[in-house]
Amino acid sequence: MAFNDRGNSRGGSRGSSHGGGFRGGSSGPREMTKVICSDCGVETEVPFKPNEGRPVYCRECLPNHRKF
């Protein structure tokens, strides 16, 4: 059996094996998290940590799901 530990068996790039490098501090690079848009399915990055089970949208789709 080929046991792919970090292989590319999953198409997506969800690196959720470890819980992030949290460097406390307001200054510095934003932590971008790669996510898959729940609407169009494109891979995008968001400057926050999306909650599990919550849909995340790319920039294109976000306005469509924002109620303002």
In the complex, the residues that contact Zn ion under the rule CB under 5 A are 37, 39-40, 58, 60-61
CB 34 within 8 A of CB 43: yes
For the bound state, the minimum distance from the C-beta of residue 9 to Zn ion, rounded and expressed in Å, comes to 24
Return the number of the residue (3 or 68) whose C-beta is nearest Zn ion.
68
> Could you tell me where the beta strands, DSSP code E, fall in 5-47?
33-36, 43-46
End-to-end CA distance of the chain: 52
For the bound state, the minimum distance from the C-beta of residue 65 to Zn ion, rounded and expressed in Å, comes to 9
Return the number of the residue (31 or 39) whose C-beta is nearest Zn ion.
39
Chain centroid, CA 53 distance in Å: 12
Return the number of the residue (18 or 54) whose C-beta is nearest Zn ion.
54
